[in-house]
């Protein structure tokens, strides 16, 4: 269940600045996850839901512009801002061209950063709430909203990760039919290998847990072949 705090992921490789920003934002009632590399960032985004990403441009394994492109492709609804020492006009324009909603230059005053974040999130919140739920599915006694990435059972809401949403949607679109390991992994992970198969099994376990309240819904394991989402109409 999600609390009332807004969830932010900070991608910053500088240990001193990363620590200071993390602690200061926590003091201002934000939930903060701190990633020091692009790889760690993408892993965190797969496992959690965030309201905003703060990206450093210079990272040890990539640059913020390339990372922003990957984030846009994998998590198109996640807004992000750049926080960087690179202040040339061409870099600022490149940041906005990448889809950033703001571009903040280091050194940044912490109080100004908090005000900017609160203003941006307030501005973004209303349109999200007004979105028409065209991507809503009725699964037994559950409501599955792919746009908001959530499952609702009675008045209980479960927030889903991006990968959980993709996987459940794939199963729903092929309900009562076999979804092979190969087809799922090729479609969602991009590669059918041993490690991705292990990851798939973990996400299937998550979905089974989320759907356990309705006996008319069942994700069956077909040994060495794949899974079937059984839905009793």
Domain 6-130: give its CATH superfamily: Response regulator (3.40.50.2300)
Distance CA 165, CA 148 (A): 9
Q: Spell out the residues 6+ positions from residue 122 whose beta carbon is closer than 8 angstroms to its own.
A: none
- Peptide bond before 34: cis, by omega within 30 degrees of 0? no
pLDDT tens digits, the chain, 233 residues: what are they?
345 678 999 999 999 999 999 999 999 889 999 999 999 999 898 888 888 999 988 888 888 888 888 888 788 778 888 887 766 667 677 777 777 878 888 787 888 888 888 877 766 654 333 334 457 889 999 999 988 889 999 989 999 988 888 899 889 988 899 999 988 888 787 777 888 888 899 999 999 999 999 999 999 999 999 999 999 86
Sorted by where each begins, the domain ranges of the chain are 6-130, 136-231
CATH number of 136-231: 1.10.10.10, 1.10.3720.10, 3.30.930.10, 3.40.980.10?
A: 1.10.10.10
Question: Could you tell me the strand order of the sheet in which 52-55 lies?
Answer: 30-35, 6-11, 52-55, 80-84, 102-105
Print the SS3 string covering the chain.
Answer: CCCCCEEEEEECCCHHHHHHHHHHHHHCCEEEEEECCHHHHHHHHHHCCCCEEEECCECCCCEHHHHHHHHHHHCCCCCEEEEECCCCHHHHHHHHHCCCCEEEECCCCHHHHHHHHHHHHHHHHHHHHHCCCCCEEEECCEEEECCCCEEEECCEEEECCHHHHHHHHHHHHCCCCCEEHHHHHHHHHCCCCHHHHHHHHHHHHHHHHHCCCCCCEEEEEECCCEEEEEECC
pTM: 0.55
């Amino acid at each position: 269940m999600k609390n009332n705090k807004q969830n932010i992921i900070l991608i910053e490789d500088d240990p001193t600045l990363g620590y200071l920003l993390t602690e200061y934002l926590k003091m201002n009632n934000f939930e903060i996850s701190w990633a020091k590399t692009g790889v760690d960032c993408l892993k965190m985004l797969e496992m959690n839901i965030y309201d905003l990403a703060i990206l450093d441009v210079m990272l040890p394994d990539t640059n913020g512009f390339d990372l922003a492109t990957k984030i846009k492709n994998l998590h198109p609804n996640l807004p992000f801002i750049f926080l960087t020492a690179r202040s040339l006009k061409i870099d600022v324009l490149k940041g906005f061209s990448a889809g950033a909603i703001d571009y903040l230059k280091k050194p940044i005053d912490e109080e100004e950063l908090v005000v900017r974040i609160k203003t941006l999130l307030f501005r973004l919140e209303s349109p999200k709430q007004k979105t028409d739920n065209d991507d809503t599915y009725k699964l037994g006694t559950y409501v599955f909203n792919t746009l908001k990435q959530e499952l609702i059972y009675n008045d209980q809401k479960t927030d889903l990760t991006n990968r959980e949403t993709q996987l459940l949607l794939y199963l729903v679109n092929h309900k009562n039919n076999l979804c092979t390991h190969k087809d799922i992994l090729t479609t969602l992970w991009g590669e059918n290998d041993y490690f991705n198969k292990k990851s798939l099994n973990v996400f299937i376990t998550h979905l089974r847990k989320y759907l356990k309240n309705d006996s008319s819904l069942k994700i069956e394991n077909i040994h060495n072949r794949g899974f079937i989402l059984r839905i009793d109409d």
